[in-house]
Structure 1
């Protein structure tokens, strides 16, 4: 599978991300690794933020999920167009935090 294919697959649910990670571990591709790290960061930040905002107010959690959806779309569009689009403000941190992937 191509790097672009693995990058797109990584954005299709958690199962797709796991499959893309396994495929990329067998044959490393820097483009796929970039988007595997981006999507992992989106999932982690989305999950943590959702827990925090649900404790405060459900409306805040809804707004947070819309922000996470936009981040996911930015990342997915980048993967589909063969461009390394960072998630605004925090995408560079995902590349640092998860550089082992």
Structure 2
């Protein structure tokens, strides 16, 4: 009977240790995810949107360039989509720049085109 109680106490202790480790891991994961999604650098998002949906100017809206986004949308409609080559090129430029260079050029420096 005493062995059963000791074994039960050991299991409880191991379960408690495991729960603490799981909480710590979850906390680290949450902090990392928040850092990733709340990042001020929108390089990957803007680059992919520019390549895939650039004719709509969505990447410009994501970066805070409302006027340029509307211009891109109108230009794409007026030229029957030919103007969508501009955001395709912008998307490639966005994705090939370093994170710091992108952030300083397009988010801090507010360079709206290329």
Question: What is the TM-score of this pair, normalised by structure 2?
Answer: 0.34
Question: What is the TM-score of this pair, normalised by structure 1?
Answer: 0.37
